[in-house]
Structure 1
Amino acid sequence: MGNTAVVVGGGIGGLAAAIGLHRMGWDVTILERSPVLEDAGAGISLAANGLRALDELGVGGAVRDASRGQYTGGTRTPRGGWLARMDGSALERAVGTPIMGIPRSTLHRLLREHLPAGSLEVDTEVTAVEQVGPGTVRVDCGTKALEADLVVAADGIGSAVRSRVLPGHPGPVYSGSTVLRAITEHAVDVRADFELTWGRGAEFGHIAFLDGRAEWHAVLGLPAGTRFADPLSELRRRFRTWHDPVLALLDATRPEAVLHHDVNELRTPLPAYTVGRIALLGDAAHAMTPNLGQGACQALEDAVTLAAALGAESTVEAALVRYDAERRPRSQAVAGAARQAGRMGQQLSHPLAVALRNTAMRLTPSRAATRMILRHHAWVPPSLN
């Protein structure tokens, strides 16, 4: 088996894949088209499955040290009533860890610090990927070309590699929701580690960080491409009657810190995650809505599973068959569950439907809710040792 790989994309999935491959003895080059390393962005929640993947990559301890456990909070109504309370301690007893909140930029930095020196090339756009022989893939980027035994396409939801190797796939579609988010400029007394609030066709939530700051997000059911001249003023107007600390979070945010993105997804599942010696990973393979907080966790699962398969099988081809068989059913099932969660959450707008949903949530025992969470969190990674 050869041992040279090119990873296209320097996001969470791409960096994790590179670390995993390196741990298995591969020489890895990561090509990132952005000229600036991704130290921007908002926050992220990491569930037990993502943290276990990070443990196998040797990054878990550093990530935990930089994260805040989510023990308190839950889901509320705009007036502040509770639909469901979080029991982070019960979750920790069940899977060994609470969900952890961390700034995305911090996670990126910690992953980059575990890369082999000189392996990450920024400001490098891939223009073509082609299998030129039974065991060789050529990657064209700018004025040069690289040849590798394996290419990992981790270039996001708009993956150019995916569109080349699976030209018949329709690609990403708009989910019906748009999201605004930011990290506060200073510490805010949010009281709960994590909260979601569901209104009619709208959601507001926050993740508290170790340093007292918090990430907030606002999800709105609006036509794709909707943008606001003054996003913070618009959100203050829309959420002016919602419970604390919604307005406090908005008031603690600099206008230029607000990010606004439409939520897109790969609604049509891919027929395969591999084509020849090219493997699709993360959002390039299974971009999903954020309603279960599993997007990054699934990418981390992909990375560890791919590295382990390459270490266990005698050929790249056999390893990629194994990777596809292990990752495609699970990740596509999680994507479907996330889509359904969105339909039952923020996307509901009819008053009767919202009332029925709220009643059902209030009547659901906490143990039953924990069991539902464990379906996605209780994943055990293959060993990279």
Structure 2
Amino acid sequence: MSTAIVVGGGIGGTAAALALVGRGWSVQVLERAPEVEEVGSGISLWSNALRALDALGLGDAVRAHGMAEVSAGIRDERGRWLSRTDVATLRERFGAPVMIHRARLLDILRAALPEGVVRTGISVREATVDGAVVHAAGTSSADLVVGADGIRSVVRRAVCGEVAPRYAGYTAWRAVVDIHEPLTEFGETWGRGARFGMAPLADGRVYCFAVYNAPENTTGSLAEVRARFESWHDPIPGLLAAADPNALLHNDIYDLPALPSFTSGRIALLGDAAHAMTPNLGQGGCQALEDAVVLAGLAGEPDGLARYDRERRTRTQMITRRSARIGTVAQLSARPLVALRNTALRLTPTSAQLRSMAEILDWTC
């Protein structure tokens, strides 16, 4: 029986473990966190990710968390529509996306794994191309080592050496909040050097995020975020007022430069370890799920890792570049450029939006 060690027990690593187990591999997941805790953020799962979850046998379980009647689009700070998404056509053309709490998605993935596959509290110190993994509990070896350990991956050093993440120029505050009135609107509001996004969850809560331009490693507080967005349209001030400071996440936004390879020897990288991208297309987690399914399908074949590298590197690096460009446009701060951007959004037909999404969302296993 072929063996695999997956370093990192997040969404991509857990999905890879599940996909490999389904193909008869003996798998061990090493997760450095002592336990999995609920974090205050949601994840958008588009049709490409849902097809990957279908391949894992979990598509229907995740779709049960979708919402049937929603609207979506982009507004300006005063609430005027810049762009409306044709949700009905989107559903018909690609299938309905699902917004779900990250912890809930991870629960669904982990529940499908055999008992004992995931080992928590195990910090990995080094991986080598011959399949050895040095960690807090000793040294293990396997036929395949999957680096799913995030943007600051330890495993990646064995493939590409030290690779520094790139700061995108903006920082993000994220929360899941309870509200009194149900919200059925997905979307973002674009201002000058700042954005706010909201998405209802099936349990009645709302995932929201506030993004603004800032120097790297700038500290801040929820009070400062509330003040920054207090004049924006409803329900933005109310959502920030409802946010729990103890459950708020604050992260600078980074991506990775294009790696020359996702594989070396017995090692394969996936998810943020391979292609960390800005969240502007909502594709980070989606691409990790794609990676997991493709890797499991190819890993046992001759030259399978080389094929995985060629297929996944081309696609994910294209999406990383596109996401970065969208972020640059969304975070414009000069008034004339913001005015031009907003006008362009108003004039762009819905059909053009859907065509631009097709290259990403039409992916199949």
Report the TM range for the smaller structure's normalisation. Answer: over 0.9
Q: Does the CA-based 8 Å contact 2:167-2:216 persist in structure 1?
A: yes
- Structure 2: how far apart are the matches of 1:62 and 1:281? 24
Aligned residue in 2 for 1:190: 183
* 2:295 counterpart SS class: helix
Unpaired segments ≥5 residues, structure 2: none
- 1:371 is displaced (CA, Å) by 1.1
- 1:142 is displaced (CA, Å) by 1.5
Amino acid at match of 1:25: G
- 1:70 is displaced (CA, Å) by 7.3
- 1:308 is displaced (CA, Å) by 1.1
- 1:236 is displaced (CA, Å) by 1.8
> Which of residues 204, 214, 223 is equivalent to 1:222?
214
Aligned residue in 2 for 1:49: 48
- Structure 2: how far apart are the matches of 1:63 and 1:159? 28
- Structure 1: how far apart are the matches of 2:323 and 2:73? 17
Aligned residue in 2 for 1:271: 260
* 1:106 counterpart SS class: helix
Amino acid at match of 1:4: T
- Structure 2: how far apart are the matches of 1:251 and 1:295? 28
Aligned residue in 1 for 2:352: 368
- Percentage of pairs with the same residue: 47
Q: Is residue 250 from structure 1 mapped to residue 259 from structure 2 by the alignment?
A: no
- 1:114 is displaced (CA, Å) by 0.9
Superposition pairs for residues 164-243 of structure 1, below 5 Å?
164-167=158-161, 169-192=162-185, 194-228=186-220, 230-231=221-222, 233-243=223-233
Superposition pairs for residues 292-303 of structure 1, below 5 Å?
292-303=281-292
Amino acid at match of 2:150: G
> Which of residues 137, 142, 149 is equivalent to 1:143?
137
Q: Deviation per CA, 1:288-347, whole angstroms, max 9, x where unpaired?
A: 000000000011110011011135x2x3xx1101101110000000000000000111x2
Q: Deviation per CA, 1:188-220, whole angstroms, max 9, x where unpaired?
A: 43341x110000000001010112110110001
Aligned residue in 1 for 2:361: 377
Identify if the C-alpha distance between structure 1 residues 184 and 154 changes in structure 2 by more than 3 Å, giving closer, same or farther: same
Amino acid at match of 2:109: L
Q: Does the CA-based 8 Å contact 1:182-1:253 persist in structure 2?
A: yes
Q: Is residue 343 from structure 1 mapped to residue 307 from structure 2 by the alignment?
A: no
Q: Does the CA-based 8 Å contact 1:13-1:154 persist in structure 2?
A: yes
Q: Does the CA-based 8 Å contact 2:122-2:137 persist in structure 1?
A: no
* 1:180 counterpart SS class: strand
- 1:186 is displaced (CA, Å) by 4.3
Amino acid at match of 2:169: G
Q: Does the CA-based 8 Å contact 2:129-2:159 persist in structure 1?
A: no
- Structure 2: how far apart are the matches of 1:190 and 1:57? 31
Amino acid at match of 2:203: D
Q: How does the TM-score come out when normalised to structure 2?
A: 0.97
- Structure 2: how far apart are the matches of 1:143 and 1:372? 47
Identify if the C-alpha distance between structure 1 residues 21 and 125 changes in structure 2 by more than 3 Å, giving closer, same or farther: same
Aligned residue in 2 for 1:328: 313
Q: Is residue 309 from structure 1 mapped to residue 298 from structure 2 by the alignment?
A: yes
Q: Does the CA-based 8 Å contact 2:278-2:323 persist in structure 1?
A: yes
Q: CA RMSD in A?
A: 1.4
- Structure 2: how far apart are the matches of 1:349 and 1:210? 34
Identify if the C-alpha distance between structure 1 residues 262 and 327 changes in structure 2 by more than 3 Å, giving closer, same or farther: same
- 1:144 is displaced (CA, Å) by 1.8
Which range is displaced more, 183-192 or 150-159?
A: 183-192
Q: Does the CA-based 8 Å contact 1:43-1:101 persist in structure 2?
A: yes
Aligned residues: 365
- Structure 2: how far apart are the matches of 1:180 and 1:151? 33
Unpaired segments ≥5 residues, structure 1: none
- 1:143 is displaced (CA, Å) by 3.4
* 1:160 counterpart SS class: coil
Aligned residue in 2 for 1:88: 87
Q: Does the CA-based 8 Å contact 1:69-1:101 persist in structure 2?
A: no
Q: Does the CA-based 8 Å contact 1:39-1:109 persist in structure 2?
A: no
Superposition pairs for residues 97-136 of structure 1, below 5 Å?
97-132=95-130
Q: Does the CA-based 8 Å contact 2:40-2:248 persist in structure 1?
A: no
* 1:183 counterpart SS class: strand
- 1:185 is displaced (CA, Å) by 3.2
Amino acid at match of 1:294: Q
- Structure 2: how far apart are the matches of 1:147 and 1:36? 24
Q: Does the CA-based 8 Å contact 1:224-1:262 persist in structure 2?
A: yes
- Structure 1: how far apart are the matches of 2:37 and 2:278? 21
- Structure 2: how far apart are the matches of 1:131 and 1:195? 43
- Structure 1: how far apart are the matches of 2:189 and 2:319? 22
Structure 1 runs (4+) greater than 6 angstroms displaced: none
* 2:290 counterpart SS class: helix
- Structure 1: how far apart are the matches of 2:276 and 2:20? 22
